Amino acid sequence: MLTDNMIEDAIWIAKSLFDRGKATGSSANLSFRQGDRIYVTGTGTCFGRLDVDDFAILSYKDGECQPLNDVKASKELPLHLAFYMKSDEIKAVIHTHSFYSTAFSCLQHDKENDVMPDITPYLKMKVGTIGLVPYAPPGSRELFELFGKRVNGDNGFLLANHGPIVAGSDLMNAFYGIEELEENARIACYFRSEQLR
Q: Read off the CATH number of the domain in which 169 is found.
A: 3.40.225.10
The parent domain of residue 72 ranges over: 2-195
Q: Which of 76, 179, 180, 182 is catalytic?
A: 76
**Does residue 197 carry a pLDDT above 70?**
no
The answer for residues whose C-beta is within 8 angstroms of residue 17's C-beta and 6 or more apart is 23, 28, 47, 94, 96, 98, 175, 178
Over the stretch 20-71, which tens digit does the pLDDT of each residue have? 999 999 999 999 999 999 999 999 999 999 999 999 999 998 888 999 999 9
pLDDT of residue 160: 98
What is the value of pTM for the model shown? Answer: 0.95
> Residue 122 catalytic?
yes
Q: Which of 84, 89, 100, 122 is catalytic?
A: 122
Tally of structural domains, the chain: 1
pLDDT of residue 64: 87
Over the stretch 83-99, which tens digit does the pLDDT of each residue have? 999 999 999 999 999 99
